[in-house]
A and B are shown apart, each in its own frame.
Chain A
Amino acid sequence: GAVVSQHPSWVICKSGTSVKIECRSLDFQATTMFWYRQFPKQSLMLMATSNEGSKATYEQGVEKDKFLINHASLTLSTLTVTSAHPEDSSFYICSASPRTSGVVPDTQYFGPGTRLTVL
């Protein structure tokens, strides 16, 4: 149980185009989903926190107009990188916290990641 999928697993795009990455919780409902970015040999850095039915909360330094997040249902969150540039090339990983009544969301299940390369 507690499987999180991401699609696509890798994508190559031209500079200036937009790319959408999907994050799905396959066997549980996720009230909260998180989006991380990982550059080579660096830590995972939290980009934003996505709550179902409300606007995402972005971390300092992350452009909300460039990284559009939609959490339309309890099993799906999407990250759209708009007008992508080579410096946006990175490994994007999402995680999802199960919807459990009365329990704090201290468990995050991670997706397999999406490798984005912008030419």
Chain B
Amino acid sequence: KQEVTQIPAALSVPEGENLVLNCSFTDSAIYNLQWFRQDPGKGLTSLLLIQSSQREQTSGRLNASLDKSSGRSTLYIAASQPGDSATYLCARAGSNYKLTFGKGTLLTVNP
């Protein structure tokens, strides 16, 4: 069974701090790895998508890496802001393009 695990489940940091969110997956035969943001009671906003042939992707203060051999991905958020507070989900896409999601990391950035 393909599983996606996210650690930590929750994280609280002061504003301005750099932080790393972790995602691990059991099946290294992935098509891509995606990071999403979900605000309370809302849908998903796509942040970054890393193809299986890539090692990392960057967008503004966000950087995501992918290590297929170890089955891990990290999302690095630089200079965190209160507006970054949300749940961050990672999801792996298999060759059938179906997404398997982790439970997410609830991030709180305190002013």
Chain A interface residues (CB < 8 Å from chain B): 4, 6, 32, 34, 41-46, 49, 91, 93, 95, 97, 104-113, 115
Contact = CB atoms under 8 A, between A and B. Distances in A.
A90 B4 CA distance: 21
Given A46-B98, A108-B99, 18 more contacts: A41-B103, A44-B44, A44-B89, A44-B91, A45-B101, A46-B99, A93-B43, A95-B44, A104-B31, A105-B97, A106-B31, A106-B51, A107-B46, A111-B43, A112-B42, A112-B43, A113-B43, A115-B41
Interface residues on B, range: 20 to 34
Contacts, number: 54
A43 B97 contact: no
Interface in B10-60: 31-32, 36, 41-46, 49, 51
A4 B45 CA distance: 11
A42 B41 contact: no
A113 B42 contact: yes
Query: Which applies to chain B's interface (DSSP): helix, strand, loop or mixed?
Result: strand
Query: Which applies to chain A's interface (DSSP): helix, strand, loop or mixed?
Result: strand
A15 B51 CA distance: 44
A18 to B, nearest CB: 23
B104 A43 contact: yes
A111 B45 CA distance: 9
A4 B44 CA distance: 11
A42 to B, nearest CB: 6
A107 B98 contact: no
Nearest to A97: B97
B49 A110 contact: no
